[in-house]
Amino acid sequence: MALLELRDIGKIYVSDGGVAVGIRGVNLSFERGEFVAVTGKSGSGKSTLLNVISGMDSYEEGELLVEGQPTSHYLQPEWEEYREKYISFIFQDYNIIESFTVLQNVELALMHIEDKKARRARAMELIRRVGLESHARHKGSKLSGGQKQRTVIARALAKDSPIILADEPTGNLDFATSQQIIALLGEVARDKLLIVVTHNYEQVAEHATRHVRIFDGAVESDHVLRDTASMPEAAPAEKAAPADKKQKTKQMIGNGFTLGHTIFTSKPRLSAFLCFLMIVGTLGIFLVTSLFGDMQMLFAPNYMFRHIDGRLVLTKQNGSVFTEEELSSLKSEHGANSYLHYDALLDEGAYNTITLPTGEDEWDHEYVSADYVYEKSYGDDILGRYPQERGEVLLYLPISYQTDVGRNSILLSEVLIGRVQYKLVGVKYYYDNNRMPECLFTEDGFRTATASYLLTNNSTSNGEIAVYAKDGTLVKRFSLYDMVTSFELPSDKLYIDLDEYHDLTKGTDYVTEVTLKTHYFSYDSYFDTGIAAGTVFTNSFTGESITDTRPSYDAYETGNAQALVIGAELLCQTAESVLEKTYKQASLFFGDDEAAHIAAKRLRDAGFIAVPSDTTYEPNAAEVILSVISCVVMGLGWILSILFLSFFIRLCSSRTLEAFKGDMAIMRSMGIPSGVIRIGTYVRMLIALIPAFILVILTAILIFTTPKFSAFFVYLYPWQYALIFIGMIAITLRATHNHIRHLFDESVKKSLKGGRAE
Ligand code: ADP
Ligand code: MG
């Protein structure tokens, strides 16, 4: 059985405008051990013949039999397999991968050897055989024509394929070199089928065993020149035992990785450029992802009350207020851990402000909304300590405030929380863009803040503090907003800034008696809006006013505002006398939400209005639609940005990747499985991604360790970092996918360097 048999093979080229006959009616049969010289005029169809035999060109007529097997039904993958198994191709213009070294070029053809050491040893052996050992580590681009062709021969031998096709292999070489190359070919291909197309028959005459002349696409003559040593028929083309599928895949992936790595390192400048593009892309995704960082807010539940695990909000049906006794008995009756009588502050986070000192200058302040809490633990790693007294507070702040307030200098400074002056004894920082800061008080401290809040910040209270002189004349009415509560001031003293009214009072000695009047309108809890009844309370205070300048209050001497400082004791007395008659809501605290729900049911049965704090309210249709739309828009925006960035990266890299197309074609013409080439291309791009990934990780570390950067960066969540990585991989895969499709769209022949289309 012939190794190759061509039966009536015809190949027609259809190009724009005309039809050209490549070859027609070709009947030839080849055996192992033959050295066939093919000659003919230019354009007679020699190249076409080789291309058809190699499977790089399809044929339209006849049948090509390989070891008796017909091939006319072959599709792309089968041709690839055929090339891999049977064919080595040697071109006139060398077709080595110029950016690879001689060794890498040869090793490329040795992928079937799994062991890397064995692979290298075999490659070196072949390189020695073609006389290039001194150039093994030279890049292809640095070799002479003869050296390149020797590399190609070594590569052809490396494959150990039964057929070597050479299309004018010495066309670009001088006479002496040509002689050497032909001799080398003849020698190394002694046991193979070698078909050499040549202009110059004399060069091969000495070695050829057969001469085929082509004229006008048809075989003109076919002479056997000398006997070939009879070759053992069954030298199997199969490589050892056919590996099972799993093994093959594993090998393919391994080879893909090796190839990807080689490609990446062989073109350092192109690779550096790709890395740079990836970094640009990453920065883009970083930006987009942090822009859409608040996406998760859309999924946050709408709690009716501030949700604290185990909290149950309680009022009475009849609208009357709770007494301490009632609450304490409800607590023990329903197994609550604790209760909070005046719980308004728990629900007013957005309106609660901390006035933070932000610099050396006491005038520099920043107002921060915060949740107020008590009895909470932030772990051991806090700066300073937990509050122990009524006038002390611990702040739980975003790390971005660390630079503003300084690491330790903030401790023990006075901070204004709501309208109450506390001493800051502890700080803890967190990394979270969507979290509220928190102020942690002692229970008493919390109560004071509540009293102050309900008296002064609540829009439904409408009070004033009137200060009268000794003789009964009114010195000034202060709005409750003008008042600051201090824990340092004794309850029988007030601090008043009276500068503006000096002429009225003729000095501080005249002000010896102060009356504090508070008008307080109660409001009817959250279940019913609006003001229920206008209740007016009056609390009288008689004491001594202090008008000498106390340095710690200087910061608040801002004209009329905050011109009155009142002791915390006095405030609480006043406030609680009001609250105990007006404040109708309280909270019970259980171990967890489940316990709160069980208690809620029982309390409702007992006639209370009881709402666990994890109860949500249904957002109305418009809100739902809006949030769904914004969600979709954000998600689409993110995906569109990815598409845009991948398009951008592809655009930037397309010219450089175009250069790579030739190398690809060479690999394909060598019969390297397309799977390996694909994987190699992906791996190469993914390697280019590594610097970008490192950059993201470094940035993250920088952001998290150096709060100074908070001015420029937002703190991303792990899921956002995951999105960035996923996005980058998506961009890379997409760009590579397009690139690969582009590469494989064209036939091998066409994309080969200096394609054969004459
Ligand atoms: P040779 O190698 O003997 O010089 P070729 O095999 O390259 O000749 O070409 C044989 C014929 O086929 C010529 O007429 C040539 O113009 C035509 N031909 C070869 N390749 C193509 C192609 N890609 N498209 C159109 N015609 C082609
Ligand atoms: Mg040709």
Which pLDDT belongs to residue 469? 60
Q: Sign of the C-alpha dihedral, residues 264, 269, 272, 274?
A: negative
Count CA atoms closer than 13 A to 494's CA, side-chain side. 27
- Angle at Cα 282 formed by Cα 281 and Cα 284, nearest 5°? 65
Q: Which amino acid does the sequence have at 329?
A: S
Structure-token match 């739902």, residue found? 624
Pocket test for ligand 1, best of 19, 21, 42, 47 (most atoms within 8 A of CB): 47
In order of 124, 138, 266, 269, 575, the CA distances from 104 in angstroms are 10, 10, 9, 18, 86
Ligand 1: does its nearest atom lie under 6 Å from the Cβ of 635?
A: no
- 54 C-alpha to center of ligand 2: Å? 14
One-letter amino acid identity for 625? I
Over the chain (758 residues), the average pLDDT of each successive run of 10 is 92 85 93 93 92 90 94 89 88 84 92 88 91 92 89 86 91 84 86 91 90 94 80 48 75 91 90 91 86 66 87 90 92 92 81 71 68 88 91 87 60 80 88 83 90 67 59 67 77 60 39 49 34 35 45 37 68 74 87 94 93 85 82 86 87 75 82 87 91 90 72 72 89 86 73 45
What atom in ligand 1 is closest to the CA of residue 23? 10
Closest CA to 82 of 53, 106, 47: 53
Q: How far is the CA of 165 from the centre of ligand 2 (A)?
A: 12
- Sign of the alpha-carbon dihedral angle for 159, 160, 161, 167: positive
Collect all residues with Cβ–Cβ distance below 8 Å to 579 and sequence separation of at least 6: 341, 342, 451, 454
Q: Using the 8-state DSSP alphabet, how is residue 323 labeled?
A: P
User: What CA–CA distance (Å, rounded) separates 168 from 42?
Assistant: 11
**Does the pTM exceed 0.75?**
no
Q: How far is the CA of 89 from the centre of ligand 2 (A)?
A: 13
Atom 6 of ligand 1: nearest residue by CA position: 45
Amino acid code (one letter) for 755:
G
Strand order in the sheet with 18-30: 18-30, 4-15, 61-66, 69-70
In angstroms, the CA 123 to CA 155 distance is 8
CA distance 272 to 205: 50
Helix (H), strand (E) counts: the chain: 19, 30
Looking at residue 302, what is its pLDDT? 80
- Could you tell me if the CB of 266 is within 6 A of ligand 1? no
**Which run of H or of E encompasses 502?**
helix 502-505
Measured in Å, residue 216 CA sits from the centre of ligand 2 at: 13
719 CB under 6 A from ligand 1?
A: no
Question: Taking CA 175 as the corner, what is the angle to CA 172 and CA 178, rounded to the nearest 5 degrees?
Answer: 65
DSSP character for 455?
I
CA distance 191 to 205: 18
> For atom 15 of ligand 1, which residue has the closest CA?
43
* Residues whose CB falls within 8 Å of the CB of residue 395, separated by 6 or more in sequence, listed in order: 354, 370, 415, 424, 426, 427, 428, 437, 438, 439, 440
Class of CATH domain 311-341+583-612: alpha beta
Q: Which atom of ligand 1 is nearest to the CA of 15?
A: 25
Query: Is residue 215 within 6 Å of ligand 1 at its C-beta?
Result: no
Up-side HSE of residue 250: CA atoms within 13 Å toward CB? 8
Crossing angle between the packed helical segments 175-188 and 145-159, to the nearest 10 degrees = 10
Name the residue of 48, 216, 220, 746 whose CB sits within 8 Å of the most ligand 1 atoms, as the mutation to test its pocket: 48
Task: Judge if the beta carbon of residue 46 lies within 6 A of ligand 1.
Answer: yes
DSSP 3-state percent helix, strand, coil across the chain (nearest 5): 45, 20, 35
Q: Is the CB of 355 under 6 A from ligand 1?
A: no
The tokens for 323 are 């007494």
Please state whether beta strands 536-538 and 392-398 pair in parallel, antiparallel, or not at all (unpaired): unpaired
Q: Which ligand is nearest to the CA of 167?
A: 2
Tell me the two tokens of residue 430. Answer: 């967190």
Closest CA to 417 of 459, 373, 369, 355: 355
Q: Does residue 18 have its Cβ closer than 6 Å to ligand 1?
A: no
Atom of ligand 1 nearest to the CA of 42: 4
Distance (Å) from CA 175 to ligand 2 centroid: 19
The 3-state secondary structure of 624-635, one letter per residue: HHHHHHHHHHHH
Q: Using a 6 Å cutoff on CB, does residue 47 contact ligand 1?
A: yes
Residue 131 has what DSSP assignment?
T
The two beta strands, 193-197 and 163-167, are parallel
Is 42 close to ligand 1, i.e. is its CB under 6 Å away?
Answer: yes
Burial 718-757, CB ≥16 within 10 A → b, else e: eebbebbbebbebbbebbbbebbebbbeebbbebbeeebe
Ligand 1 touching residue 332 (CB < 6 A): no
Q: Is the CB of 22 under 6 A from ligand 1?
A: yes
| Cβ–ligand 1 contact at 48 (below 6 Å) | yes
Question: Does ligand 1 come within 6 angstroms of the Cβ of 459?
Answer: no
Ligand 1 pocket, mutate which of 9, 12, 13 (most atoms under 8 A from CB): 13
In order, the DSSP letters of 205-271 are: HTT-SEEEEEETTEEEEEEE-SPPPPPPTT--SS-SSPPPHHHHHHHHHHHHHHHHHHHHHHSHHHH
- pLDDT given for residue 555 in this prediction: 35
What's the one-letter identity of residue 536? V
From the centroid of its chain, how far is CA 49?
52
What token pair was written down for 199? 């202009």
CB atoms closer than 10 angstroms to residue 515: 15
Taking alpha carbons only, the member of 136, 132, 37, 148 closest to residue 90 is: 148
235: tokens are 């030298």
CA angle 486, 488, 490 (to 5 degrees): 95
Question: Which residue minimizes the CA distance to atom 26 of ligand 1?
Answer: 13
Measured by CA distance, the residue closest to atom 17 of ligand 1 is: 22
Answer for the pair 565, 495: CB distance below 8 angstroms, yes or no: yes
Phi, psi of 349 (to 5 degrees): -40, -50
Tell the residue nearest (CA) to atom 11 of ligand 1: 22
**Does 3.40.50.300 match the CATH number of domain 4-230?**
yes
Q: Where are the domains of the chain?
A: 4-230, 245-297+624-754, 311-341+583-612, 346-456, 458-580
DSSP 453: I
Which pair of tokens denotes residue 587? 């909270």
**What is residue 512's predicted lDDT score, i.e. its pLDDT?**
42
* Residue 117: per-residue pLDDT: 92
Is residue 45 within 6 Å of ligand 1 at its C-beta?
Answer: yes
HSE-CB for 636 with a 13 A CA cutoff: 6
Q: How far is the CA of 198 from the centre of ligand 2 (A)?
A: 9
Q: What does the alpha-carbon distance between residue 246 and residue 265 come to, in Å, rounded to a whole number?
A: 29
Q: Is the CB of 418 under 6 A from ligand 1?
A: no
Atom 20 in ligand 1: residue holding the nearest Cα: 757
CA dihedral 41, 47, 48, 49 (to 10 degrees): 90
Q: What's the CA gap between 234 and 470, in Å, rounded? A: 127
Residue 727 one-letter amino acid: G
Query: From CA 295, how far away is CA 636, in angstroms rounded?
Result: 12
Listed residue (506, 568, 667) closest to 89, CA to CA: 667
